[in-house]
Structure 1
């Protein structure tokens, strides 16, 4: 590539949620990084229960941390200035520039203001654009990810992540469509047609994702779409199995019975190891179990019924944004009794963050659920008190004779009253608990832990001696870069990033209902 300059940019939008925006954004970042381009990811506003802590203690969406790794740069709060962490169907914790600033309803967040005392949408948009511009002043290119669909016209007036930021920063927009779910041509056309003229002028074209079959059979449809909309296709990405990248949201689909995709390799020992993950409400950072799924011979399954514990060699109680709610859910479904039986039988249980907290003796929560004092499961000698200030940290230490790194994201403060020390938590018999997310990504520690699980379960399972989770993650990110390099028109894509949306793109009828007003006042938000 020649003619590189600071400040190039692109917004990757989608016809729907889960169209592949995160994958495409990461793939473009890795493709550019391999070309020597200094690139950064960006998402103005993210709603996710999977988050990450940067080295300076800021909380951002885990997808943006993954995209930063794809770009080979250190993640920062600038890459995800607004993070919403759902606490119910109607409320979310607002994390602004890496720090929690309060709980708000959707109406309150998009209405009169934010918990930080800002002026609602305009103040948030200003913050988002300022962060984007700071990144663009530092990097050759910034690849932005949208959220949901840019054609959610009921939310356009408060939009700070799709066309709102695209128009404010004059970013070209690439719309990604998932052809595997069907209707991709109608989705491309409808997405474009519903936008106001000032937004449509930034929509440069389309990228088909998750295609199975002969691309030549798709070509007539892409040509017709270009004839109708005046906008070209930038490529057709094939359906790729087992990408294994960090999920953005644990609320989008029910995970009961879902098997975490893992490395296709036989076990090193004679038997596999079966891991059951309790699919608790408001499950957060369930990506913790990806490192287990990466081990040959480890099968990871999400479950929500006690009978699914029967053949499990390890049960993981993951993090949650609602510890007390998750505890009640476990009791209602009979899973709490099943965990007590497991512990009594000496069968392994691992609690992480919120899962660790509910395994303790007592919870005092006047912050997250405001439930007051609640008895825990009593499997660990731990008392938990929720504090207003959130712990955000990147701890390092050792356990089982191996070095360990992790990250902490929690309001609950645990007082450990006994047991064997285990990271920041403890172990009693076959029950282990810690606040540390990501600890299982430390290879030596993970292998040592799995050996103990296998011994307790009586399994002839042997961890692979050379599995490197970091290397596997790099391979997956390279696969994303390969998808872009091999199946997108990269020359055209670079021209778009560097030069912006093509001039004189036609208006696509029927257009936005207020298109006449927008044509007269193109600078106002729709």
Structure 2
């Protein structure tokens, strides 16, 4: 096995954090490990030491693995410029644009760049821990997919599916994810991880047992809700971490929502300060 794919039932299920955790765990065991995400869609990025631009999550994951972030770890970065067009960064450098109509079937060249980057990393590292994008059950995009099951099938990667129990319906989402996949894709799904759990795991156990029975895959872990763990998010969900309650006197800051903004997660540092409440608004005259 050259690697592992961490997929999710939804966006924001916790794939980035779980991938970072696995990288850290393997690195502590003396295994040379690299993170990988074939394609990221985000205006939030980081710059590597050689000037290459990659997704912020992969930069953090590389640090967790104790290795230098590099372009091969996120070979394709799509930066939305409108609802129907994205700027393409390939191997850390500008590569043109991608129209919405080309997304499902017009990415063959990008797929080959991503596959080549994975092969490069797997030749230099013991294990490559891959992060999927969105959900592997987006079957409308399966034909041109190279970041979820397309990547797993290409390299024979076992797939770990992470689900966010805090948003509800996680067991149905897990079984539904499996059910929508082809038999060939299903064969690579190795198990489940329940993420963001609060409460007594004993109360959850009957549901986990039932999922294992009907899905034929083990639940490999239940991860707790960790309020103080912070990892950079992608655009649409980056502001979720800003909504923190401040008790008593403190500084209240309003951030104006723009249709698209690069590196919105720069505000995270301010929102993480004790006594500071950051809220998002579409009204620049809002009183906070």
Q: TM-score range by the shorter chain?
A: over 0.9
Equivalent in the alignment of 2:270: 292
Task: Establish whether residue 136 from structure 1 lines up as the match of residue 122 from structure 2.
Answer: yes
1:218 and 2:200 matched: no
Change (3 A) 1:259 1:244: closer
The gaps in structure 1 that reach 5 residues or longer are 1-6, 113-119, 312-526
1:276 aligns with 2:258: no
- 1:1-21 CA-partner distances (Å, limit 9, x unpaired): xxxxxx641100111111111
Q: Note if contact 1:150-1:163 (Cα within 8 Å) is conserved in structure 2.
A: yes
Preserved CA contact (<8 Å) 2:256 2:284: no
Q: Any idea what the Cα deviations from partners look like across 1:389-444, whole Å, max 9, x if unmatched?
A: xxxxxxxxxxxxxxxxxxxxxxxxxxxxxxxxxxxxxxxxxxxxxxxxxxxxxxxx
1:506 is matched with: none
Aligned to 2:145: 159
Write the deviation string for residues 129-174 of structure 1: whole angstroms up to 9, x where unpaired.
2211211111121110001111111100010100000000110000
- 8 A contact 1:263–1:295 mirrored in 2: no
Matched, 1:198 2:184: yes
Could you list the per-position Cα deviations for residues 279-304 of structure 1 after superposition, in whole angstroms to 9, with x for gaps in the alignment?
21102211212222333343333222
Give yes or no for contact 1:263–1:296 (8 Å, CA) kept in 2: no
**In structure 1, distance between residues paired with 2:224 and 2:21:** 13
Cα 1:185–1:295, aligned 2, differ >3 Å: closer, same or farther? Answer: closer
Q: 2:59 aligns with which of 51, 62, 65?
A: 65
Partners of 1:245 and 1:191 lie apart in 2 by 25
Judging changes above 3 Å, is the alpha-carbon distance between structure 1 residues 12 and 305 closer, same or farther for their aligned structure 2 residues?
Answer: same
Aligned counterpart for 1:36 among listed residues 30, 35, 38: 30
Partner of 1:438: none
Say if 1:109 and 1:69 are closer, same or farther in 2 by CA, change over 3 A.
same
Aligned match of 1:15? 9
2:97 corresponds to: 103
Matched, 1:54 2:48: yes
Distance 1:90 1:111 in 2: 15
Q: Following superposition of structure 1 onto structure 2, how do residues 386-465 of structure 1 map, counting pairs within 5 Å?
A: none
Give the drift of 1:262.
Answer: 7.2
**What is the alpha-carbon root mean square deviation over aligned residues?**
2.2
Which residue number in structure 1 is paired with residue 279 of structure 2? 301
Report whether the alignment pairs 1:260 with 2:242.
Answer: yes
> Do 2:149 and 2:185's aligned partners in 1 also have CA atoms closer than 8 Å?
yes
Q: How does 1:221-260 map to 2 (within 5 A)?
A: 221-248=207-234, 250-252=235-237, 255=239, 260=242
Q: Give TM-score, length-normalised by structure 1.
A: 0.52
Q: Distance in 2 between matches of 1:221 and 1:171?
A: 27
Unaligned runs of 5+ in 2: none
TM-score between the two structures when normalised by the length of structure 2: 0.92
Q: Secondary structure at the match of 1:288?
A: helix
- Answer with 1 or 2: which has the greater Rg: 1
Residue aligned with 1:251, SS: helix
Q: 1:77 to 1:262 in 2, by over 3 A?
A: farther
The DSSP-based 3-state class of the residue aligned with 2:133 is coil
Q: Distance in 2 between matches of 1:245 and 1:233?
A: 24
Q: Which residue, 75, 83, 99 being the options, matches 1:89? A: 83
Contact 1:212–1:238 (CA under 8 A) maintained in structure 2 = yes
The higher relative CO (CA closer than 8 Å, separation ≥ 6) is in: 2
